Amino acid sequence: MEVVVKENYDEISKLAAQMIADLIRKKKNAVLGLATGSTPLGTYKELVRMHKEEGLDFSGIITFNLDEYVGLPPLHPESYRYFMNTNLFDQINVKKENTNVPDGNAEDQDLSCQEYEDKIKKMGGLDIQLLGIGGNGHIAFNEPGSSLSSRTRTKTLTEKTRQDNARFFNNDITLVPKYAVTMGIGTIMDAGEIILLANGTNKADAVAQAVEGPVSSHCPASALQSHKMVTMIFDKEAASKLKDHYPTDPVRNKKV
Ligand code: PGA
């Protein structure tokens, strides 16, 4: 596990985008695991810039998103399908049919979750997975207490997560869905490489638990400590409760 601490949000976004772009340039048909929420927005903005200004080519790329609310129509402005279309897919040359978001409206949720897992496998597995972290340590919608070997399934959202996300629903928690379909921690851990991003003081406790606390389902992100290739990129505020000191760049960026 590599932890790097950058000066600000702009720097963490640019580093994450650069790491994803490096992979896309090396592997034209890379399988990207993508996230929603406020955290990855800067990364997507930078990837869009790279596409428009540097010709970064997404035409062979396949994507799988982490999660989706249950019960929101796909065109609802807070659905994660809508978020991804608006903030990334509509602005790059990825083929829409190669983009996958869990179906929050499937009649048979168990079957739909199994099909999502099967499709990831069929495509050769996730080459890289981008993650944010919840204020309660969740990754995707794997809330505290989630099995560290869980697979894609429906989860009940905690009160804390619904409160955190109420800002996207007119600050009205009653409008925030109660359930979500989410890749499991086991699904995420199968990715070849993982990048976790966090910024802001409201993430500092979760970051400290994830990086320097014990591996525990109480803090789902702590499972990443045992992943073979994970880079955690924080701004100074998110890193403010870490006890150790960490470098400002991953080893791959160092000239040796
Ligand atoms: P955020 O959410 O990026 O909107 O802070 C992260 C998460 O809950 O995983």
Residue to probe by mutation, ligand 1, list 12, 34, 38, most atoms within 8 Å of CB:
38
Compute, in angstroms, the gap from residue 82 CA to the centroid of ligand 1. 16
Q: What is the pTM of this model?
A: 0.96
Q: Residue 256's pLDDT is what? A: 52
Pairwise CA distance, residues 213 & 237, whole Å = 18
What's the CA angle centered on 139, arms 217 and 70, to 5 degrees?
A: 110
Compute, in angstroms, the gap from residue 141 CA to the centroid of ligand 1. 10
Compute the residue count for the chain: 256
Q: Tens of pLDDT along 43-98?
A: 999 999 999 999 999 999 999 999 999 999 888 999 999 999 999 999 999 999 99
Q: How far is CA 100 from CA 40, 156, 185, in A?
A: 17, 22, 18
Burial 97-130 (b: 16+ CB within 10 A, else e): ebbbbbbbebeebeebbebbbeebeebeebbbbb
Q: Where are the chain's structural domains?
A: 2-234
Fold of 2-234: Rossmann fold (3.40.50)
Task: Give the closest residue (by CA) to ligand 1 atom 7.
Answer: 134
Q: Residue 74's pLDDT is what? A: 80
Compute, in angstroms, the gap from residue 132 CA to the centroid of ligand 1. 5
Structure tokens at 217: 């389902």
Please name the residues in contact with 256: beta carbons below 8 A apart, sequence gap of 6 or more. none
Structure tokens at 57: 């080519």
pLDDT 10s digit of each residue in the chain, 256 long?
A: 999 999 999 999 999 999 999 999 999 999 999 999 999 999 999 999 999 999 999 999 999 999 999 999 888 999 999 999 999 999 999 999 999 999 999 999 999 999 999 999 999 999 999 999 999 999 999 999 999 999 999 999 999 999 999 999 999 999 999 999 999 999 999 999 999 999 999 999 999 999 999 999 999 999 999 999 999 999 999 999 999 999 998 887 665 5
Catalytic residues: 67, 136, 138, 143
Pairwise CA distance, residues 101 & 84, whole Å = 9
Residue to probe by mutation, ligand 1, list 38, 39, 66, 233, most atoms within 8 Å of CB:
39
Other Cβ atoms closer than 10 A to 253: 12
Compute, in angstroms, the gap from residue 255 CA to the centroid of ligand 1. 33
Pairwise CA distance, residues 189 & 185, whole Å = 6
Beta bridge mates, 143: none
Q: Residue 22's pLDDT is what? A: 97
What's the CA angle centered on 206, arms 36 and 174, to 5 degrees?
A: 55
